[in-house]
Structure 1
Amino acid sequence: MTRALFLWLLAGFLSASAATAQGLVPLRDGASVAFLGITFIDTSTEGAYNPVRADETARLALVQDYVQTRFAETGFAMLDLDPITTDLATVTNPADCYGCETRLAARLDADYVLVGEVQKVSNLILSMNLVLRAVPSGEVVRARAVDIRSNTDDSWLRGMRYIFKTHMFVEG
C-alpha cells in the first residue's frame, strides 16, 4: 500500500513539475465539457468489511456538484450525458477505462472530457484527482492529484478547491 501511495505522489509531483516547466495548454473559452463523474474507490480495511457508507456517497455527490458548478460558472458548456447513459452505466470507472472516456465524449461532440477519482486509503487518508482531456486526441490538458486528511464534507471540498485553485483554471 505504501508503494502505491509513493508512486501516486511521485506521478503528481512529476506532472506538476512538467506543467510548470512547459506551461499549460490554454483552455478554449466556451468549450464543451462531458463530465463523466468522479469514482469512489475504497481500498481501506473498513471498505473491505463494511458496505458503502451513506455519508461518503453524499460527499461524492457534493464534490461532483462542486466540479460541475465551477466549470459552468467559468463559462464551459456542460454537456447532457443522456445520449451515452446506457454505455456509461457499463463502465466501472471512467477515469480508468483505457480511453473509453474520450470515445464516449467524442460521441457527444465534446471539446473536453472530465473525470475524477477519490480513493479512500483509510478513514484518515484520502486521495483525489481530476483529469481534463482534449477530445478526440485524449491529450491531458489538466490533471492534478491531492491527498487530504480526514473524511468529512469540509476536507473533501477543501481538496477539490485546492485542485481548482492551483491548477484547473490556472493559465501557464
Structure 2
Amino acid sequence: MFQRILFAFAVVLLATPAVAATKAAVFPFDFHDAQQDGEMFPQNDPEDLRRLQLVSDELRSLMQKDERFDVVDLSSKAKEIDAASPFYKCDGCEAPIAKDAGADIAVTGYVDKLSSAALNLQIIVRDAATGQPTKTMSAAISGNTDDMWLRGVRYLWKNRFNAEAEQK
C-alpha cells in the first residue's frame, strides 16, 4: 500500500511541469538632479552616483536570490546600453537590448533628486518582446543616505514588484 502511494506521488511530481524562471535584464539606473537644472555644466554629486549603483546592485541581488527570476548578464551589451541611456527618456529602447540578451523582461530604474532631502525612486518593468510596460512603481525617499536609498528599493521590491506573490 505504501509503495503504491509513493509511486503515485512520484508520478505526480514527474508529471508536474517545472515553472521556468523569468529571465530578467536589470539595467543601470538613471539619475536626474533637479538642483542642477539650468546649470551650464551640471555636476552630479559622486555620492549620488555611487548610491545609484548601490540601489541598482541591490535590486539585481534581490532578484538573483528569488528563484522566480534568472538575472541575465548584460556585460556584453555595455556599448548598446551606453548609447541608449538614459532609459527614462527613450520609451522602451531597453527592451530590444534585453530581448537580444535572452531576457523575458527589461527592468530599469530612475532616481529623481528633487532636493538634498527629497528623492523619488522609480522602477519600470517591460516585456522584452513587445517593449510594453508590465509594472511601474515609485517610492518617495526622505533623506539622502545609503540607508534611505536602499530602504526605497527594498520597499518597492517587497511591496510593489512582488505584490502578486504576497497576495497568494
Report 1:110-149 matches (<5 A). 110-149=103-142
User: Does residue 34 in structure 1 map to residue 19 in structure 2?
Assistant: no
Task: Give 1:166 shift.
Answer: 1.1
For residues 105 and 37 of structure 2, what CA distance do their matches in structure 1 show? Answer: 35
Could you list the runs of 5+ residues in structure 2 that have no partner in the other structure?
1-18
Q: Which residue of 2 aligns with 1:70?
A: 62
Moved more, 90-99 or 114-123: 90-99
TM-score by length of 1: 0.76
Structure possessing the higher radius of gyration over alpha carbons: 2
Q: Which amino acid aligns with 1:64?
A: S
For residues 139 and 51 of structure 1, what CA distance do their matches in structure 2 show? Answer: 33
Q: Which residue of 1 aligns with 2:48?
A: 56
For residues 63 and 41 of structure 1, what CA distance do their matches in structure 2 show? Answer: 15
Q: Which residue of 2 aligns with 1:103?
A: 96
Q: CA RMSD in A?
A: 2.0
Task: Give 1:46 shift.
Answer: 8.4
Q: Residue by residue, what CA displacement relative to the aligned partner does 1:52-98 show, whole Å, maximum 9, x if unpaired?
A: 21211221111111100000001211111133221111123123313
Could you list the runs of 5+ residues in structure 1 that have no partner in the other structure?
1-27
Question: Number of aligned pairs?
Answer: 145
Contact 1:133-1:139 at 8 Å conserved across structures:
yes
Q: Which has the higher contact order (CA 8 A, sep 6+)?
A: 1
Q: Residue by residue, what CA displacement relative to the aligned partner does 1:13-48 show, whole Å, maximum 9, x if unpaired?
A: xxxxxxxxxxxxxxx751111111211111115894
The runs of 4+ residues in structure 1 deviating greater than 6 Å are none
Contact 1:105-1:113 at 8 Å conserved across structures:
yes
For residues 58 and 84 of structure 1, what CA distance do their matches in structure 2 show? Answer: 21
Q: Which residue of 2 aligns with 1:43?
A: 34
Q: Which secondary structure does the structure 2 equivalent of 1:72 belong to?
A: helix
Q: Which secondary structure does the structure 2 equivalent of 1:148 belong to?
A: strand
Q: Which residue of 1 aligns with 2:148?
A: 155
